[in-house]
Amino acid sequence: MLKDDFECTFFTCSPTEYQVREVSRVCPLVALPSEDHALRPFLDMLDGDEIVVLDNYFFDREYQESVRSKGCVLVCIDDIHTRTFAADMVISPFVTDPGLYRLAARDAFLAIGLRHSPLRHPFLSPLPSKSRRFEWLVCFGGSDPCGLTERYSEAVCSAYPGASVAVVAGDGCVRRSFPEGVSVYESLDATQMAALMSDSRKVLCPVSTVCCEALACGCEVYAGYYVDNQEDAYKTFTAGEYIHPLGDLRLGGTFDPDDGAGLKKLSFSGVRDTFRSLFRALSLQIINYTDLTRDMSRKVWEARNEESVRRCMTNPAPFGFDSHCAFVDGLRGDCSRLYFAFFDGDNFVGSYDFTGIIDGESAERGLYVAAPYRRMGIASAMESVMECLIVRRGVRRLRAEVLKSNGNSISFHRAAGYEVLGEDDEYVYMVRDIL
C-alpha cells in the first residue's frame, strides 16, 4: 500500500524462503542475524529521518524509545494492548475501544478499527467468482497449533454431505487427513488465496487477518477464536454482525451450519487510501499550537491572516500577531479545544482544529491547507491522522460547519464521508461517524 509513495525496506531476523519470496515482490529485504543482539544492528542502520514500523510483541517500550531517540517517527502494530507504547502511532485494526491502550506521548495517534486492516494487495480489490465453485472453504492460516483445520473440515463435511469443500492446509496441519472429496491447497501466495476465497461461498476461519481477507472477498464467514489475543477481534466482528460467531474454537465452537442470521457486508475498498494518507501525514511535522516556536507560530498567523483565507472563516476580520499569540495562550489547559499545525521542513502546510470537544461523544473540527499544498492530498492526510488523535478521547462523531459559498470544501467533506445534517442561510452542517 505504501511502496509507490515511499522508499520501503523490510527488515527481519533469519527470514524464511517464503518471507524472502513474498517480500521480494514488494520491496528490498534486509536479513538481520538471529542472535539476541540482532535488533541493535537495525538501530545502527537508522539515519533518523525514517518512519519505522515495528510488528512483534517483543518490541518493548525501551526498544521503542531507542528508535524514537534516533529521531525517527515510530509506528507499532499491536492487538493485545498489554503495555504502554512510546510510539507516535499504534495501529490496531481489531480493537474498537480506545480506552484499552496506554500511549506515552500526549499527541500520539491511535488507528483502531477494521478500516485500518493492513490487507495484502490482492484482497483490496478482489473479483468474486459468479459461480462460487466451493460451498465451503476451511482456512486456519499457516500455524494452526491446535490442529483445528482437520477438526472443522470434518465438521463441515458431516453437516453438509456432498457439499464442495476446499481446505487450505498450512504448516500447522500435522495429520493432514481430510474427508474424501475435499480439495486441499497448500503454500498459496496472496493472489492464489484471494482467487480461492473469491471462488468460495462460505469460509470457516479464526478471527484473524484471514477473516478480513474472506470478508473482503465477499464470503459468508463463520469464525471464532482459539488464542487469547483474538478475543478483541471476536468482539469486534460479532458486534458489527459481520460473521456467524463460533465462540472458542478449542471447545468445538457453537457450529450451526443452518444459522440463517443475516450478516452485514464489510468493504475494505478505502484501506489503501487510508494508509497512504496516514503515512503521508506522519512524514510531516505535526505540532500542537501550544508547542510551536515563535517563528512557527508567526508562519501560521501569516497564512491564516491572508484575505483569501479569512473570508472562509467564521470571523473574517483581520487580526494581529499579538492577538494570535493570546489565542494560543488561551488554549493551554483548555481541554475543549485542540489546534495543530503541519509543517514540511520550515514550510507551513496547514492546520487542523477540534472545538467543542465532548469526550466520549463528538467534536467540531476545522481544516485549512496552505495554498502551495492544495490539491496534493494533504487535506485527506490531515483528516485521516487527526481522526486517530481525537479517537483517543472516545469521540465518535465529527461535526463540521461549511460556508455554503465554499463549494470546494463541501465537495471535500462529501468525499471524506460527511453527511449533511442541516443548513441555514449561511452554513451547511455536516457530520461523520468515526467509531
pLDDT in tens, 162-178: 999 999 997 666 666 78
Could you tell me the pLDDT band of residue 228, with boundaries at 50, 70 and 90?
confident
Would you state the pLDDT for residue 88? 98
- Over 80: is that where the pLDDT of 142 sits? no
Average of per-residue pLDDT across 332-351 = 96
Closest by CA to 40, choosing from 18, 22, 62, is 62
Average of per-residue pLDDT across 321-331 = 95
Would you state the pLDDT for residue 234? 95
pTM: 0.91
Q: Which residue has the cell 495562550?
A: 329
What are the phi and psi torsion angles at 423 (to 5°)? Answer: -160, 160
d(Cα 90, Cα 77) in Å, to the nearest integer? 6
Q: Which residue has the cell 469526550?
A: 359
d(Cα 138, Cα 317) in Å, to the nearest integer? 64
Percent of the chain with pLDDT over 70: 95
Residue 63 parent element (H or E): helix 61-69
Would you state the pLDDT for residue 175? 60
d(Cα 84, Cα 376) in Å, to the nearest integer? 35
Pairs from 8-14 (Cβ < 8 Å, separation ≥ 24): 11/42, 11/45, 13/38
d(Cα 17, Cα 34) in Å, to the nearest integer? 15
d(Cα 300, Cα 294) in Å, to the nearest integer? 10
Query: For residue 52, with 0-12 CB atoms within 10 Å meaning exposed, 13-18 middle and 19 or more buried, which class applies?
Result: buried
| Per-residue pLDDT tens digits for 352-407 | 999 999 999 999 999 999 989 999 999 999 999 999 999 999 999 999 999 998 89
Distances (CA, A) of 152 to 109, 138, 194, 325: 39, 7, 21, 65
d(Cα 354, Cα 402) in Å, to the nearest integer? 14
| Per-residue pLDDT tens digits for 184-225 | 999 888 899 999 999 999 999 999 999 999 999 999 999 999
